[in-house]
């Protein structure tokens, strides 16, 4: 077998079998850093604030006076006919929102009293009140929202983004994940996995408390000079071996060592938010050294500032069924809003004051909506809502999205969409378009056919393109 064939086989084997880690991230920069953009981009980076558990749209964004008028009455039978629910049984009662809504900004956008900070930036935001999905359980719905398919195994949006556009910083991963809340998302790591794409595109988890990346620091007794000398020797030996066998995995190993060495400097500096001015900490509500959604929002800004392409924050806890005070709309929902409202709005304000909002797209939302009816599981005295895939709200800001607009409309109960429906693949197509990518052209060959994030669906939502 000649060397050319050996190199091809070895390369294929590596991309099929290699595990994810610093070496994989290094190989991406080394071998596949070219852009697959197919048009002009309005945005360069994305910060996706994923609210795992599904926030209640009619308690936060989609004001429905009719629900208050009918509060406590039996649900109309036409809403129940042929309907599937995750937990509701029998004939539930209508549940009006206990929260007041007011109009804000020049746009006059209605926002719940639970989101006073977001109300300050409504003119920078586009609200999509007509999102819908095919999934009504958390894990498949979260995976669907992030990968375009409800079954584990497809690449996530962040993975497609780095596959399509690469990274702007050779010292940091292009796709970073930050977690907060009491638990990880129900969909697990599949929400930011690379699926059948090379594992170089999987999201890298950074921790906002403790060591940001595990096993990055030098072991006790190993100095910086000693580590540098060791790397130089290993690199020279590996280069000589590469000349003999032409194995790209050796080059990957060289790049991995070098990236890890650079990250020893770049990552601690990135994660140390104590150097931010007091005004920024006041804006976000951050506390250096603590694990919080606020800290993660500030870290997201610092990451895109340094060239990370896609930063995704997951904040778990929005599953308000009303089985107890821990998951009800009266107690738990306000607590979640208090944890996230200030920092979400701060991110919009901070990016704008730095001149970065025009090139950074922010997306906020969960995996589905909530029902217009009280769940009433086991005759609970607490109020809550069941899962509802037919309608929910997401919002976008920056990155070429026009501010102060609302796309879509639901009926008077917030139950069905009556204007401009937007399905999950439409949102994905629009996000890719804003990043300069034609969703129909960004494909990857796998098992005999070309796959894409939007599969065989999706259309760009023109009202979201400035």
Element at 111 (helix H, strand E): strand 109-112
Q: Could you tell me if residue 191 is inside a domain? A: yes
Q: Could you tell me if residue 169 is inside a domain? A: yes
Of 208-217, 270-279, 375-384, least confident by mean pLDDT is 208-217
Q: How confident is the model at residue 359 (pLDDT cuts 50, 70, 90)?
A: very high
Q: Could you tell me if residue 296 is inside a domain? A: yes
Residues 1, 64: Cα–Cα separation, whole Å: 71
Of 16-20, 75-79, 186-190, 270-274, least confident by mean pLDDT is 16-20
Q: How confident is the model at residue 219 (pLDDT cuts 50, 70, 90)?
A: confident
Domain CATH code at residue 116: 3.40.720
pLDDT, mean of residues 224-246: 85
Residues 436, 400: Cα–Cα separation, whole Å: 11
Pairing mode of beta strands 125-132, 360-365:
unpaired
Q: Could you tell me if residue 269 is inside a domain? A: no
Whether residue 401 is predicted with pLDDT greater than 70 in this model: the reply is: yes
pLDDT at 262 (0 to 100): 75
Whether residue 349 is predicted with pLDDT greater than 80 in this model: the reply is: yes
pLDDT at 252 (0 to 100): 55
- Closest by CA to 430, choosing from 421, 419, 422, 418, is 422
Regarding pTM above 0.85, the answer is: yes
User: Residue 156 contacts by C-beta under 8 Å, 6 or more apart in sequence?
Assistant: 146, 147, 190, 191, 192, 193, 194, 195, 202, 203
Q: Could you tell me if residue 10 is inside a domain? A: no
Residues 387, 371: Cα–Cα separation, whole Å: 6
**Do residues 22 and 335 lie in contact, with contact meaning Cβ atoms separated by under 8 Å?**
no
pLDDT at 38 (0 to 100): 74
Q: Could you tell me if residue 5 is inside a domain? A: no
Whole-angstrom Cα Rg for the chain:
24
Angle at 120 between CA 116 and CA 126, to 5 degrees: 105
**Do residues 319 and 56 lie in contact, with contact meaning Cβ atoms separated by under 8 Å?**
no
Of 38-42, 78-82, 270-274, 339-343, least confident by mean pLDDT is 38-42
Of 21-25, 44-48, 224-228, 279-283, least confident by mean pLDDT is 21-25
Whether residue 30 is predicted with pLDDT greater than 60 in this model: the reply is: no
User: Residue 451 contacts by C-beta under 8 Å, 6 or more apart in sequence?
Assistant: 154, 196, 443, 444, 445
Question: What's the distance, Cα to Cα, between the start and end of the chain in Å?
Answer: 56
Q: Could you tell me if residue 247 is inside a domain? A: no
pLDDT at 261 (0 to 100): 66
Chain centre distance of CA 264: 26
User: Residue 13 contacts by C-beta under 8 Å, 6 or more apart in sequence?
Assistant: none
Burial (CB count <10 Å: 0-12, 13-18, 19+), residue 227: middle
Q: Could you tell me if residue 449 is inside a domain? A: yes
Angle at 370 between CA 363 and CA 114, to 5 degrees: 65
Task: Report how many domains make up the chain.
Answer: 1
pLDDT at 19 (0 to 100): 40
Residues 45, 248: Cα–Cα separation, whole Å: 30
Angle at 253 between CA 252 and CA 256, to 5 degrees: 85
pLDDT at 13 (0 to 100): 42
Q: How confident is the model at residue 202 (pLDDT cuts 50, 70, 90)?
A: confident
**Do residues 284 and 21 lie in contact, with contact meaning Cβ atoms separated by under 8 Å?**
no
In this structure, the number of other CB atoms found within 10 A of the CB of residue 229 comes to 11
Which range marks the domain in which residue 320 is found?
43-224+274-464
């Amino acid at each position: 077998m000649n060397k050319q064939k050996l190199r091809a086989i070895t390369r294929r084997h590596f991309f099929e079998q290699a595990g994810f880690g610093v070496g994989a991230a290094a190989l991406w920069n080394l071998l596949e850093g070219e852009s697959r953009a197919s048009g002009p981009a309005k945005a360069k980076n994305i910060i996706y604030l994923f609210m795992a558990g599904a926030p209640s749209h009619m308690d936060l964004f989609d004001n429905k006076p009719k629900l208050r008028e009918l509060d406590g009455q039996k649900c109309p039978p036409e809403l129940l006919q042929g309907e599937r629910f995750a937990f509701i049984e029998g004939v539930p009662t209508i549940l009006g929102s206990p929260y007041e809504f007011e109009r804000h900004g020049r746009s006059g956008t209605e926002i719940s009293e639970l989101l006073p900070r977001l109300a300050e930036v409504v003119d920078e935001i586009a609200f999509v009140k007509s999102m819908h999905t095919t999934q009504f359980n958390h894990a498949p719905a979260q995976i669907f929202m992030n990968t375009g398919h409800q079954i584990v195994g497809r690449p996530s949006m962040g993975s497609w983004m780095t596959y399509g556009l690469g990274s702007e910083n050779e010292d940091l991963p292009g796709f970073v994940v930050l977690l907060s809340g009491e638990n990880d998302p129900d969909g697990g790591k599949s929400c930011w996995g690379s699926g059948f794409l090379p594992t170089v595109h999987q999201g890298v988890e950074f921790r906002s408390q403790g060591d940001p990346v595990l096993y990055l620091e030098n072991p006790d007794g190993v100095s910086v000079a000693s580590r540098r000398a060791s790397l130089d020797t290993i690199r020279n030996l590996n280069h000589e071996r590469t000349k003999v066998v032409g194995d790209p995995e050796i080059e990957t190993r060289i790049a991995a060592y070098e990236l890890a060495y650079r990250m020893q400097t770049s990552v601690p500096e990135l994660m140390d938010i104590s150097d931010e001015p007091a005004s920024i900490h006041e804006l976000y509500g951050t506390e250096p050294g603590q694990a919080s959604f606020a800290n993660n929002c500030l870290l997201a800004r610092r990451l895109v500032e340094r060239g990370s392409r896609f930063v995704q924050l997951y904040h778990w806890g929005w599953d308000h069924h009303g089985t107890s005070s821990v998951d009800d709309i009266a107690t738990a929902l306000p607590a979640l809003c208090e944890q996230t409202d200030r920092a979400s709005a701060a991110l919009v304000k901070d990016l704008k004051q730095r001149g970065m909002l025009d090139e950074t797209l922010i997306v906020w939302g969960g995996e589905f909506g909530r029902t217009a009816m009280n769940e009433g599981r086991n005759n609970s005295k607490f109020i809550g809502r069941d899962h509802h895939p037919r309608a929910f709200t997401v919002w976008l800001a920056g990155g070429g999205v026009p501010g102060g607009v609302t796309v879509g409309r639901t009926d008077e109960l917030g139950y069905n969409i009556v204007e401009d429906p937007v399905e999950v693949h439409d949102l994905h197509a629009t996000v890719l378009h804003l990043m300069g990518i034609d969703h129909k052209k960004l494909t990857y060959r796998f098992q005999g056919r070309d796959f894409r994030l939007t599969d065989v669906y999706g259309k760009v939502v023109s009202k979201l393109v400035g």
